[in-house]
Structure 1
């Protein structure tokens, strides 16, 4: 999900530049003192963002929120609007990897002034001076319960145990997150994953390569292969496995893996800085994050949100305390630095197989 954004940028750099100039109506909206423009990922989660954050913020403050969809990798757009002082966005939905790239050579991010927010009440890493994580997702394992009636897999070590748990397997067609799963299967503790022992991870992958029936490429495909029974178990993005489960497929999640987050940052220099900060602070409220988690199968970063989420729903979310115990924080800075070299090595490994 995250990694492909960087790759896409390299394949379509010129289109990213062109799309940085958003429609005139959105620019006019952002110029109004009583409105802000928020860029997000669009698509299926846009209505959830509107219901949980945009509309309630408008109602409470009178500040209109105009939302626009940004590129899958918004870093180039983000830099252009700051460098040109065009400020067609006032807030943007970005990942920790984006934040690392937006502060590497020059700081493009405003201080959110979240000094009054206690980080101890949040998922680790969610509260930063220039970024507020609000949407937690997991890289975990999913299996079909109808394929394992005599006992289900419970760890990545079990995934690699093809004799005890025979079945058709899927793996993500990318090293991102998947190398960590290989290391977990090989006994590396969650708190010792980084920097990745890449040679050890590929050696572990050598042992499972012949048992992989599907190398999936997208979240939609991951949902489909779990839904239709093309695979019996697979790595997954948690919301994608839950989509298959919600459709009626006998899919269960094993909370063994990694978590990461989407969050909000503000472009440095926006003339609507105070309104933008007000919006970000609004989004950290537990009751608003609970609404979002009720619409999208990602977990809240503010753990007090679980006071507002029904227990049966809460148990399905990555940041639910019991589920979070089995998840390590994905090191986005590591991947931002090493993704290209590891992706090339992974593709060569696949071809040589």
Structure 2
């Protein structure tokens, strides 16, 4: 799956390639696992293996060092990697064939909903989790048969060289050409994010963004008319906006947080403005009929400990959900991730259920929005 293809996800998730390239520039990982190893030795010890889907490449390599190998060391259970661009097609194929070869998969929210409705997952056994993990992982992240794996954000990013006296702090600032001059970029593939940014720039409060009804779409497109002449390039792949900032072809743009984080960790003078960033989620699931269900339960209990969540976040470049991990992360990383409370309070979550719901004409809301977007872009 390419980054272009990932634009089909109305939840803010990023593509496999975006994840792989985002992690490439992160610093080496400390393995903060001592207390977790002790916990696992008491409650999670086992034998055999667990088959875990992930994205491959540097993403899986980093997770093996930071999470998978410590899990094996602590529990005696071997992690077997399987990789694919997207899990959902593979899961459907295994279900139809009546043979499930994997134990754990990461799925997008809309993929989760479809597969959940098809009864392809088993409930998560939260009784295996320690008290710390149950308190650290918010209840909203712990579904009956899925648990949040990581979240990604689309955020305003600017070149500090273009704004040495201080850059934009919000989407209203993004639209303020006079005070923050310079070439701009926005996502050109799907329009829903740019519509949300336009509405926020036009004064719509976060709580009033949903549902994205026709009158709000009209208002968003009218606001986008104002900024359209100043968009020097509508980016279509996750790596573009950061590279164009580096090349000084953009002064400010929307971009994926993991991409920006990797660049900043390499010393590139970029800054993220979290006000109005849009958040998308990705879920761990345990597959019904998988060969090692008991070990899969132990794996999810292990990686959601605070120490392992911190290791996951450093390896993936996108944060795992346990908020207690903040005390284990490097001090210079905490301000750069979405679960930092100072950032989280400024973000907007997608209403995925509304996006994938069907309208009276049979189209989904996201398809309707995309039609409006393409018509506007063609003007």
Mapped contact 2:106–2:149 kept (Cα < 8 A):
no
Moved segments of 4+, more than 6 Å: none
**Mapping for residues 239-258 of structure 1, pairs under 5 Å:** 239-256=258-275, 257-258=277-278
Give the alignment partner of residue 323 of structure 1, picking from 320, 343, 352. Answer: 343
5+ residue gaps in structure 1? 9-32
Q: CA RMSD in A?
A: 2.3
Give the drift of 1:241.
1.4
Corresponding position: 1:206 with 2:225? yes
Measure the CA separation in 2 of the matches of 1:265 and 1:2: 23
Is the aligned partner of 1:183 residue 2:199? yes
> Deviations for 1:188-215, whole angstroms, at most 9, x for unmatched residues?
2112221113222222212211110111
Which structure 2 residue ranges, 5 or more long, are not aligned?
10-46, 358-364
User: Structure 1 residue 130 and structure 2 residue 145: aligned?
Assistant: yes
Deviations 1:289-341 (A, max 9, x none): 11122233322310001111122111111111111111122223333343333
Match of 1:140 among 155, 158, 166: 155
The correspondence for 1:194, drawn from 206, 210, 214, is 210
> Which residue in the other structure is 1:232 paired with?
251
Shift of residue 119 of structure 1?
6.0
CA distance in 2, matches of 1:319, 1:216: 26
Determine the C-alpha separation between the residues in 2 that align with 1:186 and 1:139: 18
Provide the rounded CA distance (Å) in 2 between the counterparts of 1:121 and 1:246. 26
TM-score (ref. length: structure 2): 0.80
Separation in 2, partners of 1:119, 1:287: 14
The alignment covers a number of residue pairs equal to 326
Matched residues in 1 for 2:331 and 2:314: separation?
Answer: 11
Aligned to 1:108: 120
Determine the structure 1 residue equivalent to 2:85. 71
Give the Cα–Cα distance (whole angstroms) in 2 for the partners of residues 100 and 186 of structure 1: 32
SS at match of 1:66: strand
Which residue of 2 is the match for residue 60 of structure 1?
74
Q: CA deviation at 1:265?
A: 0.6
Residue 5 of structure 2 corresponds to residue 4 of structure 1: yes
Kept in 1: contact 2:168–2:180 (CA 8 A): yes
TM-score, normalising length from structure 1?
A: 0.85
User: Which deviates further from its counterpart, 330-339 or 37-46?
Assistant: 330-339
| Deviation, structure 1 residue 285 | 0.9
The residue that corresponds to 2:290 in the other structure is 270
- Which residue is 2:168 aligned to? 153
Question: 2:156–2:272: 8 Å Cα contact kept in structure 1?
Answer: yes
